[in-house]
Amino acid sequence: MRRQGIPAGGFRDSGSGRTELPCFIIAQVVERGNSNPFLLANRRPTTVIPIAIFVMLSKLNKLIADTLKIDESLVNDDASMQTLPQWDSLAHMNLVAALESQFSVRFEPEDLLSMVSVQEILNALARFGVSADSEPS
């Protein structure tokens, strides 16, 4: 899955000039493999997610990449202990410590043992009310 950033302010329509979009739906287009490819040329985003969530995911993926000492391009929303060999038990505990420091939370034992994927981490953070709307410290 590859992301492409779109400048704030909206899309430029070659026919009628600059097209302004409301800020809260300025979107990050996500290209997902072979399905629903984003057709930049037609400026028709087929999958959009709010920019705030993109920022959250980007920060999380960067934190994971930094902790595992791997290239950020290897970390995506489907990343887990199963897909990344560098994500072993020791690395997992370092990651938990980094997440707790970054988001000022303290995970319960049951949570930290089940947070073995990006999705599970997001779920665990959401239980603390850490979501796209909140700023990490």
Torsion angle (degrees, nearest 10) of CA 128, 91, 57, 104: 30
Nearest to other proteins of 31, 111 (CB atom): 111
Q: Is 119 in the site for other proteins (CB under 8 A)?
A: no
Radius of gyration, CA atoms only, the chain: 17
Nearest to other proteins of 57, 95 (CB atom): 95
Q: Is 81 in the site for other proteins (CB under 8 A)?
A: yes
Q: Which residues contact 130 (CB under 8 A, 6 or more apart)?
A: 103, 105, 136
Q: In the set 70, 92, 134, 136, which binds other proteins (CB under 8 A)?
A: 92
Stated length of the chain: 137
CA 25-36-48 angle, 5° bins: 10
Q: In the set 13, 113, 131, 135, which binds other proteins (CB under 8 A)?
A: 113
Residues that bind other proteins in the complex, under the rule CB under 8 A: 80-82, 87-90, 92-93, 96, 109-110, 112-114, 116
